Amino acid sequence: MKAWENNIRKVVPYTPGEQPKLKNIIKLNTNENPYPPSPLVLEELSKMDYEKFRLYPDPEVKELNVAIANSLGVSEDMVFTGVGSDDVISMIFMTFFNSDKPILFPEISYSFYSVWANLHRVPYETVRLDDDFNIVVSDFNKTNGGIIFPNPNAPTSKYLSLDLVEEIIKNNSESIVVVDEAYIDFGGESAIGLISKYDNLLVVQTFSKSRSMAGLRIGYAIGNNRLIAALNDVKFSFNSYTMNMAAIKLGTAAIADKKYFEECCSKIIKTRQRTMAELEKLGFSFPDSKSNFIFATHKNKKAEEIFVKLKEKNIFVRYFKQPRIDNYLRITIGTDSQMDALITALKEIL
């Protein structure tokens, strides 16, 4: 063994959901939006001046940050943008989770959190969820070097009401609390309004789900200007040009189309409610979802078997072979016709 081999940073990477190369599949496995981005994005794309690509993009991402700030009613210095919320959260780990005390996150949660903790060498502890997958606020009342949780949680789809989110933030005023709101636009209430009250709060959101732009990679954190300045210091010590020119322009165009965004979210919510009713009739149960996916278990058919059989029919959903959730399927909400095809396939399988 060579000496340098001891110096390799050893990590177990995150496994993203499958992106099958097959054509004609129904893809309900990575919580993407089934609808295209706003037509304003296409318009902006067609106007794009390719000659400008020889220049570096704006390292301060000003145009997009201003658009996000205006749409949320916060000031520009409260916005930090990154290459999807994955990039933003990784920067948050690097910037704020630097104590010897463990950071806390739910035992069933976004599985990237433990990967970042290991990558950035941050100690962590997971916090148990109750039998119905609820976050128990008082369980976060212990020594910690920071807290992160998704709301709604993933993959359980469970939403924690804003008063309980606030309790976690209030009870942990000496730590940075990060609320990962990747799915908040599908029925939950954002914690952004609490930022003026709590200086330890960061809220992370993304263009990947509710704005149908997973492929463009845009995510952002909202927090008070001191936290955002600290994040920028780390970003500018790591890579000044995280956001490319196309993402800045097209993200700004997407923000301009509030009406399209709202219509898209309400269509998905409507399809979700209808799908939940259909699944229930077939013998599935699931937590009440406030996200763009349903976390379902069947009363007598094993989730893994359903997962395999759906795949044989070219319908992809997500299955996690993990303690407590290995009999559940995470099903992304697609179009109405995709969900009809799913229900038909499930009837055949069951």
Q: Where along the sequence are the contacts to ligand PMP (CB under 6 A)?
A: 84-86, 110, 150, 154, 180, 182, 206, 208, 214, 219
- Find the shortest distance in angstroms from Cβ 154 to ligand PMP: 4
Decide whether 206 or 338 has the Cβ nearer to ligand PMP. Answer: 206
Conformation bin of residue 205: beta by default, left when phi > 0, alpha when psi is -120 to 50: beta
Q: For the CB of residue 110, give the shortest distance to ligand PMP in the complex, in Å.
A: 4
Q: Which is nearer to ligand PMP, 41 or 345 (CB)?
A: 41
Place of tokens 């054509």: 23
CA distance 156 to 37: 26
Least spacing, CB of residue 158 vs ligand PMP, in Å: 12
CB burial class (10 A; 0-12, 13-18, 19+) of residue 9?
A: exposed
Q: Residue with CB nearest ligand PMP?
A: 84
Pick the closer one to ligand PMP by CB: 57 or 150.
150
Determine the Cα–Cα distance for residues 137 and 172; give it in Å rounded to an integer: 11
Amino acid found at 151: N
Closest to ligand PMP by CB, 214 vs 341, is 214
CA distance 48 to 34: 25
Shortest spacing between CB 295 and ligand PMP, in angstroms: 12
In angstroms, the Cα distances linking 171 to 72, 123, 127, 147, 166 are 26, 21, 15, 11, 8
Distance CA 36, CA 213 (A): 8
Least distance (Å) from ligand PMP to the CB of residue 108?
12
Q: How far is the CB of 7 from ligand PMP (least distance, A)?
A: 29
User: In this complex, which beta carbon is closest to ligand PMP, that of residue 95 or of residue 208?
Assistant: 208
Distance, CA of 220 to CA of 271 (rounded, Å):
27
Task: Say if residues 97 and 103 touch (Cβ distance below 8 Å).
Answer: yes
State how far Cα 18 lies from the chain centre: 16
Q: How far is the CB of 49 from ligand PMP (least distance, A)?
A: 27
Q: Which of 31, 78, 325, 326 is nearest to 220 (CA)?
A: 78
Smaller CB separation from ligand PMP, 293 or 346: 293
Residue number with CB closer to ligand PMP (72 or 154): 154
